[in-house]
Homo-oligomer: A and B are copies of this chain.
Amino acid sequence: MENNKKSKFGKYGGQFVPEVLMPALYELEESYKKYKEDPQFIAELHDYRSNFAGRPTPLYHARRLSKEYGITVYLKREDLVHGGAHKLNNTIGQTLLAKYMGKKRIIAETGAGQHGTAAAMAASSIGIPSEIYMGAKDIKRQEMNVYRMKLLGAKVHTVTSGSQTLKDAINEAMRDWATNVETTFYVLGSIVGPHPYPAMVHDFQSIIGNEAKAQILEKEGRLPDSIIACTGGGSNAMGIFHPFLNEDVELYAIEAGGSGLKTTKTAALHSASLCVGEDGVLHGARTKILQDKYGQILESSSIAPGLDYAGVGPELSRLVDCGRVIADNIQDFEALEAFHELSQLEGIIPALESSHAVAYLKKADDLGDLVIINVSGRGDKDLNTVMDRGI
């Protein structure tokens, strides 16, 4: 069987899944190819994006932040998307596709609960049952999002295996999918997983960059010098980077530096797979991952639950290897500082994930004169975390 070149980003990507899922991946690829050109699908997607999700989101000139750093800073306002993060861009796309494919239910994994909530939201509005897998540890620390999912009609499964966090929730969702693959659509939450997920999620999230490009041209008459996005799996980053890949714009993927780039026997104190991860295979794709010397996956760590993942999208691994995207990381305490800074200077409480991107303003050497930061989500979900650390 010949190697599936189209499923790869250079050496990264691929389809490392059990045979039982392979036909589903082909079916998904075919269906996606078909429906993404289907005028009715396109129209319905556009309707949900505009009227349900609230797109386009603004590109906001952050006057006071700009003054603080002596450059012009724009914020791409994904925090205003329904549900509170860019995640809905993707779940609407995938859930609509599930409906067109005649699937009877969707499943999704979730770490912080943002993707799970977004999946549940898309599922109820589109009218398809949803079940969400979430690690027992995450369920405890993200009580409100669990409750939101239930309110939205989703069934939430507690995952007690492994480290009881996102990685294990993905494992469990894949097991469910393998069991119910004929009737079930697995709505993956980032540009990770086996082909065609990274490509498909990338497409659904590219709306961020497409809007931002038109908006910055309209407002400033030129492209930005750099774009900063936080990076867990990488979907908000690739979403905003994509239309700028062939432009003269520096792209910064900012990972969670946690409490420093150190590692214990079974756990990393960070989630910086692009920065210090090694080539490996996780959740269906070859990419940079956090692993021990034998290839066992390390637990990851971050104050931002949405960044707390041992892998990263294969496309980003590629782009970092070839130098097109610069990977760096921000530690918990720096992200917290930026969280407070943006709240006080601009009246926008960013998600702790997005705070990593904001924090890079301070850490960066030279971003040029015109910068876009992707504010991937709002921080309401993080208030308890920040409160616990003191205001």
Q: A51 CA to B375 CA in the complex, in Å?
A: 13
Query: Is residue A99 within 8 Å, beta carbon to beta carbon, of the partner chain?
Result: no
Closest-by-CB residue of B relative to A91 is B347
Q: Majority SS of interface residues in chain A?
A: helix
**Chain B residues near A123 (CB-CB < 8 A):** 347
Query: Is residue A121 within 8 Å, beta carbon to beta carbon, of the partner chain?
Result: yes
With beta carbons under 8 angstroms apart, the residue of B57, B348, B380 that contacts A380 is B380
Q: List the number of copies, as a whole number.
A: 2
Contact B383 A147 (CB under 8 A): yes
Q: A279 CA to B206 CA in the complex, in Å?
A: 56
Query: Is residue A152 within 8 Å, beta carbon to beta carbon, of the partner chain?
Result: yes
**Chain B residues near A387 (CB-CB < 8 A):** 147
With beta carbons under 8 angstroms apart, the residue of B50, B54, B59, B151 that contacts A349 is B151
**Chain B residues near A122 (CB-CB < 8 A):** 347
Query: Is residue A144 within 8 Å, beta carbon to beta carbon, of the partner chain?
Result: yes
A15 to chain B, nearest CB (A): 31
Contact B121 A348 (CB under 8 A): yes
Contact B54 A340 (CB under 8 A): no
Contact B347 A152 (CB under 8 A): yes
Contact B54 A57 (CB under 8 A): yes
Contact A82 B80 (CB under 8 A): yes
Contact B54 A345 (CB under 8 A): no
Query: Is residue A344 within 8 Å, beta carbon to beta carbon, of the partner chain?
Result: yes
A269 to chain B, nearest CB (A): 26
With beta carbons under 8 angstroms apart, the residue of B59, B124, B348 that contacts A343 is B124
Contact B348 A125 (CB under 8 A): yes
Q: A340 CA to B123 CA in the complex, in Å?
A: 15
Closest-by-CB residue of B relative to A75 is B51
**Chain B residues near A50 (CB-CB < 8 A):** 58
**Chain B residues near A124 (CB-CB < 8 A):** 64, 343-347
Count of chain A residues near B, Cβ 8 A: 44
With beta carbons under 8 angstroms apart, the residue of B82, B125, B343 that contacts A153 is B343
The 10 closest A-B pairs by CB, nearest first: A121-B347, A124-B347, A125-B347, A51-B58, A153-B344, A54-B80, A51-B60, A151-B343, A125-B346, A152-B343
Interface centre among A79, A122, A144, A347 (most CB of B within 10 A): A347
Closest-by-CB residue of B relative to A67 is B127
Q: A348 CA to B123 CA in the complex, in Å?
A: 11
Query: Is residue A103 within 8 Å, beta carbon to beta carbon, of the partner chain?
Result: no
Query: Is residue A1 within 8 Å, beta carbon to beta carbon, of the partner chain?
Result: no
Query: Is residue A242 within 8 Å, beta carbon to beta carbon, of the partner chain?
Result: no
Closest-by-CB residue of B relative to A118 is B347
- Given A124-B344, A347-B52, A347-B120, A150 contacting B58 (CB threshold 8 A): no
Q: A3 CA to B147 CA in the complex, in Å?
A: 54
Closest-by-CB residue of B relative to A144 is B383
Q: A347 CA to B80 CA in the complex, in Å?
A: 16
Closest-by-CB residue of B relative to A391 is B150
Q: Which residues of A23-58 are within 8 A (CB) of B?
A: 47, 50-52, 54, 57-58
**Chain B residues near A127 (CB-CB < 8 A):** 63-64
Contact A151 B380 (CB under 8 A): no
Q: Which residues of A82-100 are within 8 A (CB) of B?
A: 82, 84
A387 to chain B, nearest CB (A): 6
C-beta contact mask, A380-391 vs B, less than 8 Å → 1, else 0?
100100110001
Closest-by-CB residue of B relative to A49 is B58
Contact A60 B64 (CB under 8 A): no
**Chain B residues near A59 (CB-CB < 8 A):** 51
Query: Is residue A77 within 8 Å, beta carbon to beta carbon, of the partner chain?
Result: yes
A341 to chain B, nearest CB (A): 10
